[in-house]
């Protein structure tokens, strides 16, 4: 089943023609409307007319998360704010979030790719779709919401959390399709079991899971415990949100909707483009975006692309599961966490040279973050209650910066291993 068969099964030649056409329009848009890009082009002595087609893209500069931060909040927007109908934001490293704006056409395209993704994962206009991704500034909830509505499915905007209610509605509303993070899917499965509800009593048939790394083993577990077909979905708010790529019934990688998002794989160090099949950093150019079109945006996600024709008949290339990050960002419960955010909090409480370590574990099915902080003479108090309120204060500040809860453990000075004078900041003990 397809949502937009003509585009999803388009010949590679026709797809390239569409990409060339959209790419050249995008180049003109960013050259004329975004001073950041115009300056970059002028520094390189490139004019949009010099670029013959998408195959010339490697001549053009990259865009990074830092560029988004430097141009906070609207500096990279290519349209007037009056044309922007939605703003989303994701967590940044230093309190200031990454802001993205959508024109009405951008939202239209986003709903289109999400509808394609849901159909590829087994959904249809007859589905009852429970969207248990967070609604709000995070793109997960609203992105899939409009995709599900576009499709004509019965959409339940329940958002994340409140497991008992999720289960009640899942039963009473006869939910057939679930959208949430894979760890929450497992959490729901365990909660169902605790309540003595077998998956056969439910109407669930399939689901779409993403926003955090997961594995084939987790897929098997979700499929077994919920008795559904589980599909991987990929996205990032800088490019669009969920629906940049999604799995079909072949479950052999996620089809990137290339008529909107042009993918490249580059060597994360040399930044040279790599051929299909090689592992490298995923880079996207959002060729149809009007609000904030990004040129060669470095996702920092490590993966490989495959262009062999998929059995499902879709011609769009597939990306493998994300295998890691080319920087030190970690994703915990779908939230991006940077060690520098923890450092900022410790600096705020008066530590000059904070020593800390993040230990990420998976307890049951949920990711847990433990932040170990070395107690220096400066932080140390003779009173337990002072130490406890110190740990509490750090925990509260972290939770307001990271938007996720953590356990703060005070440890002895110099107890965190240092390598070459620099502490190893992240210990990820999760097994996917």
Partner 1 sequence: MISQVSVFLENKPGRLEKVLEILNDNEISLRSISVAETSDYGIFRLILDRPKDAVEKLKEAGFAVKETDVLGLEIDDTKGSMLNAIKELASNQISIEYTYACLPINNDKVIIIVRVDNMEKAKEVLKDSKNCRLLDCDDICFIDK
CB nearer to partner 1: give 196 or 417. Answer: 417
CB nearer to partner 1: give 19 or 357. Answer: 357
Of residues 57-76, those binding partner 1 (CB under 8 A): none
CB nearer to partner 1: give 370 or 428. Answer: 370
Total residues contacting partner 1 by CB under 8 A comes to: 18
CB of 142 to partner 1, least distance (A): 40
CB nearer to partner 1: give 165 or 418. Answer: 418
User: Among the candidate windows 1-9, 189-197, 225-233, 383-391, which touches partner 1 by CB under 8 A?
Assistant: 383-391
Residue 164 interacting with partner 1 (CB under 8 A) = no
Residue among 375, 416, 423, 427 that touches partner 1 (CB under 8 A): 375
Distance CA 82, CA 103 (A): 9
Beta strands in 38-138 (DSSP E): 84-90, 98-103, 128-131
Residue among 364, 377, 417, 431 that touches partner 1 (CB under 8 A): 377
Residue among 32, 216, 380, 424 that touches partner 1 (CB under 8 A): 380
Other CB atoms within a 10 A radius of the CB of residue 26 amount to 22
CB nearer to partner 1: give 6 or 383. Answer: 383
Distance CA 67, CA 50 (A): 24
Angle at 209 between CA 163 and CA 281, to 5 degrees: 135
| Cβ atoms 366, 180 nearer than 8 A | no
User: Among the candidate windows 69-77, 249-257, 307-315, 372-380, which touches partner 1 by CB under 8 A?
Assistant: 372-380
Of residues 74-103, those binding partner 1 (CB under 8 A): none
Task: Classify the C-alpha dihedral 4-277-330-215 as positive or negative.
Answer: positive
Residue 292 vs residues 78, 97, 103, 136, 368: alpha-carbon distances, Å: 6, 15, 9, 19, 34
Nearest Cα neighbor of 241 from 302, 195, 179 is 179
CB nearer to partner 1: give 87 or 387. Answer: 387
Specify burial of residue 349 (Cβ count, 10 A radius: 0-12, 13-18, 19+). Answer: middle
Site string for partner 1, 216-255 (x = CB under 8 A): ----------------------------------------
Residue among 191, 197, 349, 410 that touches partner 1 (CB under 8 A): 410
Distance CA 134, CA 363 (A): 21
Residue 382 interacting with partner 1 (CB under 8 A) = yes
Site string for partner 1, 324-363 (x = CB under 8 A): ----------------------------------------
Task: Classify the C-alpha dihedral 150-156-161-163 as positive or negative.
Answer: negative
Helix (H, G, I), strand (E, B) or coil at 358: strand
Task: Classify the C-alpha dihedral 364-365-366-371 as positive or negative.
Answer: positive
CB nearer to partner 1: give 345 or 390. Answer: 390
CB of 383 to partner 1, least distance (A): 6
CB nearer to partner 1: give 197 or 410. Answer: 410
Nearest Cα neighbor of 318 from 270, 217, 249, 241 is 249
Per DSSP, 292 falls in state S
Residue 411 interacting with partner 1 (CB under 8 A) = yes
Residue 126 vs residues 141, 153, 393: alpha-carbon distances, Å: 20, 6, 49
Residue 381 interacting with partner 1 (CB under 8 A) = yes
Would you report the helix, strand and coil content of the chain in percent, each value rounded to 5? 35, 25, 40
Residue among 25, 414, 424, 429 that touches partner 1 (CB under 8 A): 414
Residue 415 interacting with partner 1 (CB under 8 A) = yes
CB nearer to partner 1: give 269 or 352. Answer: 352
Beta strands in 59-205 (DSSP E): 84-90, 98-103, 128-131, 154-156, 177-180
User: Among the candidate windows 118-126, 143-151, 281-289, 376-384, which touches partner 1 by CB under 8 A?
Assistant: 376-384
Residue among 76, 156, 379, 401 that touches partner 1 (CB under 8 A): 379
CB nearer to partner 1: give 329 or 408. Answer: 408
Using CB under 8 A as the criterion, which residues of the chain lie in contact with partner 1 when the complex forms?
375-377, 379-384, 387-388, 409-415
């Amino acid at each position: 089943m397809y949502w937009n068969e003509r585009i999803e099964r388009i010949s590679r030649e026709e797809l390239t023609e569409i990409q060339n056409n959209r790419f050249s329009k995008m180049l003109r848009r960013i050259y004329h409307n975004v001073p950041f890009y115009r300056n970059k082009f002028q520094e390189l002595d490139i004019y949009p007319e010099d670029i013959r087609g998408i195959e010339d893209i490697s001549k053009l500069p990259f865009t990074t998360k830092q560029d988004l931060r430097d141009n906070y909040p609207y500096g990279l927007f290519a349209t007037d704010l009056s044309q922007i109908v939605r703003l989303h934001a994701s967590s940044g490293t230093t309190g200031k979030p990454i802001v993205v704006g959508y024109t009405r056409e951008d939202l239209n395209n986003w709903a289109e790719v999400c509808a394609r993704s849901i159909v590829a994962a087994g959904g249809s206009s007859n589905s009852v779709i429970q969207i248990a991704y967070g609604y709000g500034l995070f793109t997960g909830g609203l992105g899939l919401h409009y995709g599900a509505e576009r499709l004509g499915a019965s959409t339940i905007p329940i958002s994340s959390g409140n497991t008992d209610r999720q289960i009640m509605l899942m039963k009473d509303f006869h939910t057939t399709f679930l959208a949430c993070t894979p760890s929450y899917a497992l959490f729901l499965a365990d909660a169902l079991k605790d309540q003595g509800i077998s998956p056969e009593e439910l109407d669930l048939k399939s689901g779409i899971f993403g926003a955090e790394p997961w594995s084939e083993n987790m897929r098997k577990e979700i499929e077994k415990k919920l008795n559904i077909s589980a599909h991987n979905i990929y996205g990032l708010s800088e490019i669009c949100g969920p629906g940049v790529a999604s799995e079909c019934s072949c479950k052999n990688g996620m089809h990137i909707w290339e008529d909107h998002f042009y993918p490249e794989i580059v060597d994360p160090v040399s930044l040279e483009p790599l051929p299909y099949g090689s592992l490298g950093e995923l880079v996207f150019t959002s060729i149809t975006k009007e609000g904030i079109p990004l040129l060669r945006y470095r996702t920092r996600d490590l993966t490989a692309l495959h262009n062999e024709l998929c059995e499902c008949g879709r011609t769009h290339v597939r990306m493998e599961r994300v295998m890691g990050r080319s920087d030190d960002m970690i994703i915990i419960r779908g939230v991006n966490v940077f060690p520098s955010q923890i450092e900022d909090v410790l600096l705020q409480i008066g530590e000059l040279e904070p020593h800390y370590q993040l230990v990420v574990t998976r307890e049951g099915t949920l990711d847990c973050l433990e932040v170990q902080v070395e107690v220096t003479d400066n932080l140390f108090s003779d009173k337990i209650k002072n130490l406890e309120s110190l740990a509490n204060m750090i925990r509260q500040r972290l939770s307001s910066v990271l938007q996720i809860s953590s356990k703060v453990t005070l440890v002895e000075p110099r107890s965190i291993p240092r390598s070459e004078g620099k502490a190893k900041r992240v210990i990820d003990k999760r097994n996917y």
